[in-house]
Amino acid sequence: MSKFCENCGAEMDDNQTVCPNCGTSTSAGSTDTIINEPTSDSTYNTTTTAAKSGNTKNIAIIAGVVAVIAVIVGVVISILGSGWKKPFKDYYKGMQKADPKVYLSSYPDFYADKMEDFYDEEHMDDLLDDIKDKYGDNAKISYKITSKDKIKKDDLQKVQKYIKEYYEEEVKVSAGYKVKVQETIKGEEDNDTDTYTMYVYKIDGKWGLMPNLSPKDAKEYLD
């Protein structure tokens, strides 16, 4: 490959350092620096990599949101599915603590309103004192649900009609269970375990105990 004299422009061999035409010395070993500018392909690759990274983050965020929603739905379903159990918990907790507010929350709203004056603090204290007198000062009340049977729609309608006629209350009874409850009272002086049949109904969208109101009793009253 030839090169040219920087002074006169004469053609020179690569190994020549002095121009054979004008005698001017050339700069040995000089090289041109080539700066590679980014190509369209490299720009595309950078953009594509950033896009993929963004998509991965978005997918991770979406997956996290979906997981959270799934947990929330599961909790809600669990709560709604076992809502009929809460009145039993309030019933025995209110009794153990002699707390009329908690105790009355185990009943349907219309019934709790009617019994509010009866189940006051004095009455609940008397009830707990009776338990302590028989079983000892540190008597503990516990319960266990051993079985439940779903109440048929026709029987629910009888209960609804009974409430309307007996309590003069317009309510909607949409579900119910006949429940076997094993009640245990343990104290320093005595222990007892008994099994009771109790009834719980979903009335106006809320579960509440009507412990002794069976569909059979409702039917007999209506007849």
**CA distances to 27, 31, 41, 208 from 5, in Å:** 10, 15, 39, 108
168 falls within a domain: yes
175 falls within a domain: yes
45 falls within a domain: no
CB 98 within 8 A of CB 125: yes
200 falls within a domain: yes
Could you tell me where the DSSP H helices lie in the chain? 40-81, 86-97, 100-104, 109-115, 121-135, 153-166, 215-222
Which tokens in the block code for residue 63?
């997956």
Domain total of the chain: 1
Give residue 24's pLDDT. 78
Which tokens in the block code for residue 73?
């739905």
Give residue 22's pLDDT. 80
Give residue 99's pLDDT. 96
CB 173 within 8 A of CB 161: no
pLDDT average, residue stretch 73-95:
74
Over residues 96-113, the pLDDT tens digits come to 999 999 999 999 999 999
| DSSP structure class, residue 25 | B
78 falls within a domain: no
Over residues 129-149, the pLDDT tens digits come to 999 999 998 999 999 999 999
Average pLDDT, the chain: 83
Domain that holds residue 113: 85-222
Report the predicted TM-score, pTM, of the whole model to 2 decimal places. Answer: 0.64
> Residue 138 is part of a domain; what is its CATH number?
3.10.450.100
Give residue 208's pLDDT. 98
208 falls within a domain: yes
Give residue 75's pLDDT. 38
25 falls within a domain: no
pLDDT average, residue stretch 138-166:
97
185 falls within a domain: yes
